[in-house]
Structure 1
Amino acid sequence: MKDLNLLYVFESLWRDRSVTLAAERMGLTQAAVSGSLKRLREEYDDKLFTLVGRKMEPTPLATELAPQLLDALSMVRKTHLERGSFDPSSARRIFTVRTRDIGEAVCLPRVVQALSASAPSLRLRTVFRPIPETLNAMASGQIDFALGFLPSLETGIHSRVLFKAGYVCVMRKDHPLARRQLTPELFSAGEHLLVEYSGSGHVVIERALMGAGARHRIRIRLPQYMAAPHFVIGSDLLWSVPAILARTLAEHYPLVIKPHPLPLPGFEVALYWHDRFHRDPANKWIRDFVIQQFAGEASLPG
């Protein structure tokens, strides 16, 4: 392959399965990416990527070639990264962030607002995938970094703590316990809402409920945080929730926040990224930028 730019196009199509997304992430036009794909097809005498439904899926030959081509591109990157540069003021790129709705509500608005001044042409896209898929996507470059409390992300992963926080108990404003001290006994006797997802460090909440004898008093389980207030404000449910999210939601919903009566451990909200992109100038810049937005919040109260 004489033109190394074709390697980047192959990588983007392999990663994004879309000419449109590949063009956006590379800062090129769709016509340019399509033209490069045409040249790749001519060079290998194979379609390499074909449209299946809404995705450009790799052919058997592309799947066979991918490990070698991606490794070759990785070697090329390593020879240039130390001298590479990234100009955020002019760069046009989409960074993909793996986070849950709590990260979208609490952390990313601040980042997006700051980006509008420092890097007006950069954009963010959030995705949510199970931990095994997240690891694979971070390794392939489909995901630039993950944001949250994800202690199970390990293999080949770097991390940087943004801040530490704790848990509180949330209830509606006219809840029978709203004006009382919330003791462990009163808490355990109540009915509970639990936001659950395997792979998140917040599984400690369910363990604490079980330890307090409230396992069978979990009235509803939800897979996401942002729906929870709609259940809490219309019932006597108690919700154990990260304090950072509770404070954000209390600005918009009639909620009472109380110190959690159970000895729940604190947790760390961090950035996670794959070793393959540890020295990539663009990825390093966006990581440092996000870290900078939370530099004054090493510890948030629970």
Structure 2
Amino acid sequence: MISLRDVDLNLLVVFQAVLTHRSISQAARELGLSQPAVSNGLARLRQTFDDELFTRTGAGMQPTPFAEALAEPVSVALAGISRAINHREAFDPASSQREFTLAMTDVGEVYFMPTLVDLCTRLAPGVHLRTVRTTLPDLKDAMASGRIDLAVGAFDDLTGPFFQRRLFRQQYVSLFRVGHALDTPHAGLAEFQAARHLFVATGDNPYARVNQLLAQAGFGADANVWVPHFIAVPYVVSVNDLVVTVPQKFAERAAAPFGLRFVKPPLRLPALQTNVFWHRRYHQDGGNQWLRQLISEHFAES
């Protein structure tokens, strides 16, 4: 009995080409090989199968009965292999019922989700969107396993098997209610230091660093107010004489609905780079490609 380990699958491609053309030269032309290479491959097949396979006649290379018996199963097998290695699951957003899970902060939800939900409602009405926090201890494993499709935000540690695409770079701004003492073009560092500040005690590294810099600059030395999430910020600041330093995209979303204003703070803070990340296992996945392209088209800034 012949074992598959003893058969070079590339030689079966040679077999099929010779069978189709009944000619060594035409088979070589189809395969992009030299005639000696095809003849050598045919010789190896003859040795493997212990059969002549093809005999030269005036009408070309004629298959032996054994070769004729091989013809159909070899053709079917090679076609199946070709389909398998060239298969890409087509993703049709208009008919898909797929659920996508995105990891992002609450700031990300405020900025991205209203637009994403609207886009999916119009372009992919059957698609489901779910968000989870970026602080998951197994974020990398969840992305590798496909439990999380994309992560959107600032992730310095998503390297190696992760791809990323730049979306935008934003500054931090100071946000307060209309009529606040800082709501004047003359407010400077002293006024900001004297103001009562709201801090967001999030575990995300970029924000923790900003809080540290604010504290070092003397912001909020008295009567500090702390909340664990950005989502509470506009509700608190809109009815209190507090100032909070937040990413500019968040301030842009919150200002009009809550009667707030924002200005550039009187000290230098690091900019916040926001990207979309995905694991290399899903780099060629049709649905993953569609969603990250949708995000890039509508949120990426040059």
Q: Distance in 2 between matches of 1:202 and 1:82?
A: 43
> Could you say if the C-alpha distance between residues 212 and 277 of structure 1 is closer, same or farther in structure 2, counting changes exceeding 3 Å?
same
The answer to whether 1:91 aligns with 2:69 is no
Amino acid at match of 2:173: V
Q: Distance in 2 between matches of 1:132 and 1:153?
A: 13
Please report how far the alpha carbon of residue 154 of structure 1 lies from its aligned counterpart in structure 2 after TM superposition: 3.2
Amino acid at match of 2:152: L
Q: Structure 2 residue aligned with 1:214, among 215, 219, 243?
A: 219
Amino acid at match of 2:159: E
The answer to whether 1:149 aligns with 2:154 is yes
Please report how far the alpha carbon of residue 125 of structure 1 lies from its aligned counterpart in structure 2 after TM superposition: 0.8
The answer to whether 1:109 aligns with 2:88 is no
> Could you say if the C-alpha distance between residues 116 and 141 of structure 1 is closer, same or farther in structure 2, counting changes exceeding 3 Å?
same
> For 2:230, what is the secondary structure of its paired residue?
coil
Alignment partner, residue 284 of structure 2 = 279
Alignment partner, residue 290 of structure 1 = 295
Matches of residues 5-84 of structure 1 in structure 2 within 5 Å? 80=85, 83-84=88-89
> Could you say if the C-alpha distance between residues 121 and 222 of structure 1 is closer, same or farther in structure 2, counting changes exceeding 3 Å?
same
Q: Distance in 2 between matches of 1:188 and 1:252?
A: 27
Q: Distance in 2 between matches of 1:264 and 1:201?
A: 11
Amino acid at match of 1:98: A
Q: Distance in 2 between matches of 1:280 and 1:217?
A: 52
Moved more, 238-247 or 273-282: 273-282
> Could you say if the C-alpha distance between residues 189 and 144 of structure 1 is closer, same or farther in structure 2, counting changes exceeding 3 Å?
same
Please report how far the alpha carbon of residue 85 of structure 1 lies from its aligned counterpart in structure 2 after TM superposition: 2.3
Larger Rg: 2
> Could you say if the C-alpha distance between residues 215 and 140 of structure 1 is closer, same or farther in structure 2, counting changes exceeding 3 Å?
farther
> Could you say if the C-alpha distance between residues 125 and 193 of structure 1 is closer, same or farther in structure 2, counting changes exceeding 3 Å?
same
Q: Distance in 1 between matches of 2:86 and 2:177?
A: 53
Q: Structure 2 residue aligned with 1:174, among 154, 179, 182?
A: 179
Gaps of 5+ in 2: 1-80
Q: Distance in 1 between matches of 2:187 and 2:170?
A: 20
Contact 2:134 2:151 in 1 (8 A): no
Contact 1:96 1:127 in 2 (8 A): yes
Q: Structure 2 residue aligned with 1:185, among 190, 193, 196?
A: 190
Contact 2:196 2:220 in 1 (8 A): no
> For 1:270, what is the secondary structure of its paired residue?
strand
> Could you say if the C-alpha distance between residues 83 and 255 of structure 1 is closer, same or farther in structure 2, counting changes exceeding 3 Å?
closer
> For 1:286, what is the secondary structure of its paired residue?
helix
Aligned Cα root-mean-square deviation (Å): 2.3
Moved more, 251-260 or 144-153: 144-153
Amino acid at match of 2:278: W
> Could you say if the C-alpha distance between residues 253 and 128 of structure 1 is closer, same or farther in structure 2, counting changes exceeding 3 Å?
same
> For 1:247, what is the secondary structure of its paired residue?
helix
Please report how far the alpha carbon of residue 199 of structure 1 lies from its aligned counterpart in structure 2 after TM superposition: 3.4
Alignment partner, residue 262 of structure 1 = 267
Deviations 1:116-171 (A, max 9, x none): 22222112111115253222211221111111223343353221111121111111
**Kindly, what percent of the aligned residue pairs are identical?**
33
> Could you say if the C-alpha distance between residues 182 and 288 of structure 1 is closer, same or farther in structure 2, counting changes exceeding 3 Å?
same
Alignment partner, residue 232 of structure 1 = 237
Contact 1:150 1:199 in 2 (8 A): no
Please report how far the alpha carbon of residue 198 of structure 1 lies from its aligned counterpart in structure 2 after TM superposition: 2.4
Q: Distance in 2 between matches of 1:193 and 1:241?
A: 10
Amino acid at match of 1:283: N
Please report how far the alpha carbon of residue 81 of structure 1 lies from its aligned counterpart in structure 2 after TM superposition: 7.1
Q: Distance in 2 between matches of 1:162 and 1:236?
A: 34
Q: Distance in 2 between matches of 1:81 and 1:165?
A: 41
Alignment partner, residue 68 of structure 2 = none
Q: Distance in 2 between matches of 1:196 and 1:97?
A: 22
Alignment partner, residue 203 of structure 2 = 198
What is the total number of aligned residue pairs between the two structures? 220
Contact 1:149 1:202 in 2 (8 A): no
Contact 2:193 2:220 in 1 (8 A): no
Amino acid at match of 2:206: G
Please report how far the alpha carbon of residue 228 of structure 1 lies from its aligned counterpart in structure 2 after TM superposition: 0.9
> Could you say if the C-alpha distance between residues 154 and 217 of structure 1 is closer, same or farther in structure 2, counting changes exceeding 3 Å?
farther
Contact 1:151 1:201 in 2 (8 A): no
The answer to whether 1:134 aligns with 2:123 is no
Q: Distance in 2 between matches of 1:152 and 1:187?
A: 34
Amino acid at match of 1:114: L
